[in-house]
Amino acid sequence: MTTGSPWFRATNEPEPEPIPADPYGGPSSYQEPAPAPYPYTEQAYQDPAQAYQEPPQTYGQPAQTYQEPAQTYREPEPVYEAPYGTAYDASPEAPREDAYTPPYEPYEAPEAPRPSSGDTTVLEAVEPLPGPGRAERRRAAKGGGRSKGRRGGPSATTAGAPTGEQPSAPLSRVEARRAARAAKDSVGVIASRAVGELFITFGVVMLLFVTYQLWWTNVLAGQETDRAKEQIEDTWAKGDADKDDSKPGAFEPGEGFAIMYIPKLDVVVPVAEGINKAKVLDKGMVGHYAEGKLKTAMPSDKQGNFAVAGHRNTHGEPFRYINRLQPGDPIVVETQNAYYTYEMASILPQTSPSNVSVIEPVPKGSGFTKPGRFITLTTCTPEFTSTYRMIVWGKLVEERPRSEGKPKALVG
């Protein structure tokens, strides 16, 4: 019998049987199992690349594209029955036949009630509120227009002002005077305004003057030359023997006695006695040098220089393009008795106005070396100035009586 803890046994308890060392009977009893027979048989080697064969390709039928049959679907339009049994289209464009449209009546605002003749309560005057005193006005001016009453409340000027608006404080007499002086223009502003208006007026006057010089003077000169030509032709038609150009002193200063033709420039201009600017040149005519030391010969003289002057710009400008003349170009002078044809010989583009040698009987610089019958045209240069003079000379090549008709230079 065993008592107590399992770790203690009685002396008379038998020994346990020994456990064998090898459950399989020990190492002496172990035998190696016989190898199993090899399941595969030897076969001849074959290359896998040669033995492989490509499987045949099979193609299916091409895919067919399904096509939806074209069908035009149309939404049926609703048709409604009218209350009276008439079918109509209910689209927005078609108005209903049975729709009621009220007549148009303009709106009239109700008229305010007017007081009757006996009602005096409406027209009764309301007693105005007392205005601020002088001290309050000063405080309002200093405080930027926000004055307060004596007890801190709003003053009489702000009591009636609408909400959200800045009431304007009344100004004192001194402030009103200052504001009036500030509103007035200063002396500098008035002076600058006056100077500006003066310059504008001056510019307008200058523009009108230029227009008058460049355009209107030519119009007036054209009218004057037409009248002078008619007067000269009337004198020739009368056959007045006293108006013979061969007689010295036969013509008065400013009186026309000849007509000059420059076919190349399409110039037909009367020739008058003298070179007075107001009586001759400004009227569009050509003036003959026939006064004092500047006296020159007439076309009918057997020897000498017939010198004339004319404007190049403004007042008819008969000699404006004489710089375009070339040697051999004809210049014809018609008088009462004959036609005198000159040929252009030379030109002096520029010389001093005091150089009177250009109109001498044998003009210097012309190329003529001995006396003859010459013509000299003088005008100002450059254009629109009178600083210098341009000179054109010619020599007589034909004298033809008027009874024989016009010369070839005018006929051609």
Q: How far is it, in rounded angstroms, from Cα 330 to Cα 407?
A: 11
Distance CA 314, CA 321 (A): 13
Instruction: Give me the number of domains the chain comprises.
Output: 1
pLDDT in the model for residue 4 = 46
Q: What is the pLDDT of residue 1?
A: 43
Asked if the structure places residue 76 within a domain, the reply is no
Residue 45 lies in a domain: no
CB 277 within 8 A of CB 255: no
Contact between 269 and 310 under an 8 Å Cβ cutoff? The reply is yes
Distance, in Å, from the CA atom of 309 to the CA atom of 297, rounded to the nearest integer, reads: 14
Would you say residue 297 lies in a domain?
A: yes
3-state SS track over the chain: CCCCCCCCCCCCCCCCCCCCCCCCCCHHHCCCCCCCCCCCCCCCCCCHHHHCCCCCCCCCCCCCCCCCCCCCCCCCCCEEECCCCCEEECCCCCCCCCCCCCCCCCCCCCCCCCCCCCCCCCCCCCCCCCCCCHHHHHHHHHCCCCCECCCCCECHHHHCCCCCCCCCCCCCHHHHHHHHHHHCCCHHHHHHHHHHHHHHHHHHHHHHHHHHHHHHHHHHHHHHHHHHHHHHHHHHHHCCHHHCCCCCCCCCCCCEEEEEEEHHHCEEEEEEEECCCCCCHHHCCEEECCCHHHCCCCCCCCCEEEEEECCCCCCCCCCCCHHHCCCCCEEEEECCCEEEEEEEEEEEEEECCCCHHHHCCCCCCCCCCCCCEEEEEEEEECCCCCCEEEEEEEEEEEEEEHHHCCCHHHHC
The CATH number of the domain holding residue 274 is 2.40.260.10
Q: How many Cβ atoms are within 10 Å of 39's Cβ, its own excluded?
A: 5
What per-residue confidence (pLDDT) applies to 63? 56
Q: Let me know if residue 269 belongs to a domain.
A: yes
State the catalytic residues: 311, 380, 389
What is the distance between the alpha carbons of residues 375 and 299, in angstroms, rounded to a whole number? Answer: 8
Cα–Cα distance between 285 and 171 in angstroms, integer? 76
The answer as to whether 337 is a domain residue is: yes
Are 316 and 221 within 8 A, CB to CB?
yes
Question: In a 10 Å sphere around its CB, with 0-12 CB exposed, 13-18 middle and 19+ buried, how is residue 261 labelled?
Answer: buried
Q: Kindly give the parts of the chain with pLDDT less than 70.
A: 1-73, 76-133, 141-169, 241, 248, 412
Q: How far apart are alpha carbons 375 and 368 in whole angstroms?
A: 12
Q: Is residue 136 part of a domain?
A: no
What residue type is assigned to position 11 of the chain? T
Domain range for 324 is 223-411
Q: What is the pLDDT of residue 39?
A: 53
pLDDT of 11 reads: 47
Does residue 373 fall inside a structural domain? yes
For the purposes of burial, counting CB atoms within 10 Å of the CB of 320, is it exposed (0-12), middle (13-18) or buried (19 or more)?
Answer: middle
150 in a domain, yes or no? no
N-to-C CA span, the chain: 183
Whole-angstrom Cα distance, residue 100 to residue 151?
A: 68
Residue 196 is predicted with a pLDDT of 93
At 63-90, the pLDDT tens digits run 566 566 666 667 766 655 545 544 445 4
